[in-house]
């Protein structure tokens, strides 16, 4: 997820001069152009700088404090495990609160134009709040501004008035790179399968991965980043193409989405390259259990998407009730307790979690 303000949005993708280059200022394709903050190499935590509120503000929103509200959740697409889990968390929070009704609806493919239509249609219907995960922060900005102009609150969980972030981007980057280095060594090469170069969270993670790798694993070589939308078949084909293109030179594949990671693992499995090509990525545990069980995948990095959806609804309720305002430092989110407000308008869910063969069966989503 890219840091996003509704008054100033920019995404200027920059390309490397060549594969594996660590030229000063150059970034991997698929990265954004925002400042990076790589964590320490020794495993220590980093600090988050305090910043003024940078989200949008609704125009004359109705006073609905304590009153029933109707929310629409529009994820990047419906019908995949990750967003099924966020939707589950939203329903759990709505049931606990008792005065919130949430409906999840969205495109069946990760197409920004379709996502915009779903949001726009629900603005017309007159919902009280929009929850969403952005496919493209630039393209989606006008419809979010429209919602705000009509007094509709906007909370993103993947960009927004307020944004519920899964984990700090540099924390996820560190977990991804450290686990890949552990599996393939410091002198090997890897490639990345992402959704699109404009998807904000992937672009941010890739930028922080670039910075952390350059700082802490500088001998690792980046080969290429490819786009696969949020499509299972395309992700499998892209991973297979990378395996064929680079042969023995490719030692690892990063999957940047809950679709790309299992598809990459399947490509490695079918190519009989388990144990030769490592797959490290972001995915739900259920999708990865077969590959972890077969020992083809050793590291799956994620957070709990059920908790992410749950937190997003509590944040929306707090915004509507006037309990979460610019300048706040924390917000209460039911069973999750108090969540920190960082970077102005970002609510942090927590640190990333690494699923392994030892713990993956403890989770069911």
Q: What is the DSSP string of 189-258?
A: EEEEEES-TT-HHHHHHHHHHHHHHHHH-TT-EEEEEEE-TT-HHHHHHHHHHHHHHHGGGEEEEEE-ST
pLDDT band at 249 (very low <50, low <70, confident <90, very high): very high
More confident residue, 309 or 55: 309
The pLDDT of residue 49 is: 54
pLDDT above 90: percentage of residues in the chain: 76
SS3 content of the chain, % helix, strand, coil (to 5): 40, 20, 45
CB atoms within 10 A of CB 109: 14
Task: Give the pLDDT band (50/70/90) at residue 246.
Answer: very high
Q: Mind listing the pLDDT tens digit for each residue in 327-351?
A: 999 999 999 999 999 878 999 998 8
Over residues 280-292, the mean pLDDT reads: 96
d(CA 31, CA 61): 36
The rounded distance, in Å, linking the Cα atoms of 171 and 45 is: 8
How far apart, in whole angstroms, are the C-alpha atoms of residue 82 and residue 77? 10
d(CA 283, CA 194): 12
Q: pLDDT at position 350, please? A: 84
Q: How many residues does the chain have?
A: 365
Same fold, 69-166+304-354 and 169-302: yes
Average the pLDDT over 129-150 and give the result: 93
Q: Locate the domains of the chain by residue range.
A: 69-166+304-354, 169-302
pLDDT value, residue 226: 97
Residue 221 pLDDT level (bands cut at 50, 70, 90): very high
pLDDT score of 18: 36
Question: What is residue 9's predicted lDDT score, i.e. its pLDDT?
Answer: 26
Mention every residue, 6+ apart, whose C-beta is less than 8 A from residue 124.
none
Q: Which of 3-12, 43-52, 258-267 has the highest mean pLDDT?
A: 258-267
Residue 260 above 90 pLDDT? yes
Q: Write down the H helix ranges in 75-168.
A: 81-97, 112-125, 137-149
The CATH number of 169-302, from 3.40.50.2300, 3.40.50.1980, 3.20.20.70, 3.30.930.10, is 3.40.50.2300
For 69-166+304-354, CATH gives 3.40.50.2300
160-181 residue pLDDT tens: 689 898 888 999 999 999 999 9
Residue 363's pLDDT band, with cuts at 50, 70 and 90, is confident
For residues 73, 33, 226, 236, the Cα torsion angle rounded to the nearest 10 degrees is -30
- pLDDT tens track for 22-59: 444 578 889 999 999 999 998 655 455 556 888 889 99
Determine the Cα–Cα distance for residues 132 and 155; give it in Å rounded to an integer: 7
19 versus 345: the higher-pLDDT residue is: 345
Sequence-ordered list of residues with C-beta below 8 angstroms from that of 293, at least 6 positions apart, any chain:
357
240 pLDDT higher than 50: yes
pLDDT at residue 91 greater than cutoff 90? yes
Of 145-154, 166-175, 236-245, the range with the lowest mean pLDDT is 166-175
127 pLDDT exceeds 70? yes
Average pLDDT, the chain: 89
- Would you state the pLDDT for residue 8? 27
- Whether 277 shows a pLDDT value over 70: the answer reads yes
Q: What is the average pLDDT across 86-102?
A: 97
């Amino acid at each position: 997820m890219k840091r996003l303000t509704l008054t100033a949005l920019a995404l200027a993708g920059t390309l490397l001069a060549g594969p594996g280059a660590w030229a000063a200022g150059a970034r991997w394709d698929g990265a954004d152009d925002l400042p990076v903050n790589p964590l320490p190499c020794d495993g220590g935590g980093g600090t988050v700088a305090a910043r003024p509120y940078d989200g949008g503000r609704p125009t004359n929103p109705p006073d609905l404090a304590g009153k029933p509200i109707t929310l629409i959740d529009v994820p990047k697409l419906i019908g995949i495990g990750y967003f099924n889990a966020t939707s589950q968390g939203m329903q759990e929070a709505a049931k606990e609160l008792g005065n919130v009704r949430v409906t999840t609806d969205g495109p069946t493919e990760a197409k920004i134009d379709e996502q915009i239509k779903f949001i726009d249609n629900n603005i017309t219907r007159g919902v009280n709040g929009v929850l969403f995960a952005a496919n493209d922060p630039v393209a989606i900005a006008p419809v979010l501004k429209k919602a705000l102009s009509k007094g509709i609150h906007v909370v993103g969980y993947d960009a927004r008035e307020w944004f519920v972030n899964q984990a700090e981007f540099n924390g996820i980057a560190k977990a991804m790179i450290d686990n890949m280095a552990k599996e393939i060594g410091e002198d090997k090469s890897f490639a990345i399968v992402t959704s699109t170069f404009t998807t904000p969270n992937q672009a941010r993670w890739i930028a922080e991965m670039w910075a952390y790798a350059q700082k802490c694993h500088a001998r690792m070589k980046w080969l290429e980043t490819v786009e696969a939308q949020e499509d299972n078949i395309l992700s499998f084909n892209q991973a297979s193409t990378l395996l064929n293109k680079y042969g023995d030179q490719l030692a690892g594949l990063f999957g940047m989405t809950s679709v790309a990671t299992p598809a990459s693992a399947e490509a490695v499995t079918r190519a009989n390259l388990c144990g030769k090509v490592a797959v490290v990525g972001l995915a739900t545990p259920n999708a990865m259990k077969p590959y972890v069980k077969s020992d083809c995948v050793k590291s799956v990095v994620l957070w709990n998407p059920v908790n992410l959806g749950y937190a997003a609804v509590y944040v929306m309720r707090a915004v509507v009730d006037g309990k979460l305002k610019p300048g706040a430092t924390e917000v209460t989110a039911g069973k999750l307790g108090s969540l920190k407000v960082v970077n102005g308008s970002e609510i942090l869910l927590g640190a990333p979690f690494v699923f392994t063969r030892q713990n993956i069966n403890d989770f069911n989503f």
